[in-house]
Structure formats: structure tokens, C-alpha cells
Amino acid sequence: MDNDLSSPGPMVCDKKTFLHIFELEKRRAEREWHSSYLSRLKLELSEGNGEEIKEAADEMMTVLKNRIRSGDTVCRWDTKDFFLILHDIEREDIKGVVKRLKNHYFNRSGLAEEIELDWNYSPFPQRN
């Protein structure tokens, strides 16, 4: 996957680049207050072969590219896992982001009954 800096929307990058960005965000959080979250999204299909899972994950990547803000970071870690760094967001606002992404994904994919989205998030550690 190319690290595309010219596209609107989030920074979409490979694992290596994502790990560098993650490390920079950890360091930044230690030195100054800001509200950023690391988020993991996992797709679970109740049934389906490898191709169906890949198609479902490709559709999720399209949704993330189109619905995550510019300045945030998205990485497709493997076939079913995505990691995101969401900047300048409060915990209570993440639930709204997750709800909107899920609704948009299910409306586009038509897989509401066959797929489950497991979404976890945690703040970057803050300096005391």
C-alpha cells in the first residue's frame, strides 16, 4: 500500500509508516496535552470465504477513506483489522464517529446481518 499524502481525507499508510506515526504521537502526548485516540476496528463475518472477507474489508477501507477526517491516520493492518489514530477528539465524540461509520458501512455493503464490527479505542497516555 502506498502512503498517499496527496489525497483528501485521512493519511492512509502501511504498517511501517503507521508504527512511526504511532511512536511520534506517543512522544507528543507525553510532552503536551492533546486528545488523540488509538483505535482498532476488526471485521467478523459470520459466514464467508476468504474472497467475501476481502471484499467486506475493501468496502470498509473505502468507507474509512471517505469518512475519516483529514489529519487522522488509517492503516489496514491485515485482511480484517484496521488501526486508526484519531486526533483532537474527545471520548464521548468517538461513539458518534463509530456509529456513523457503522451505519455508512452497513448501508453501502448490505452486510448488516452477516458482519460484526468490533471497535476498541484508547487514549494516548497523557503527561501528568
The predicted pLDDT at position 15 comes to 96
- Give the mean model confidence (pLDDT) for residues 3-27: 86
DSSP annotation of 89: -
The predicted pLDDT at position 83 comes to 95
Residues 25/17, Cβ–Cβ less than 8 Å: no
pLDDT digits (tens, 9 = 90+) for 46-98: 666 778 888 888 999 999 999 999 999 999 999 889 999 998 888 889 888 98
CATH topology of domain 11-122: Alpha-Beta Plaits (3.30.70)
Share of the chain above pLDDT 90, in %: 34
> How far is residue 3's CA from residue 54's CA, in Å, rounded to a whole number?
20
* Contacts of 116 by beta carbon, 8 Å cutoff, 6+ apart: 43, 44, 46
Closest CA relative to residue 48, chosen from 123, 90, 109: 109
**Letter for the amino acid at 28?**
R
Domain regions of the chain by residue span? 11-122
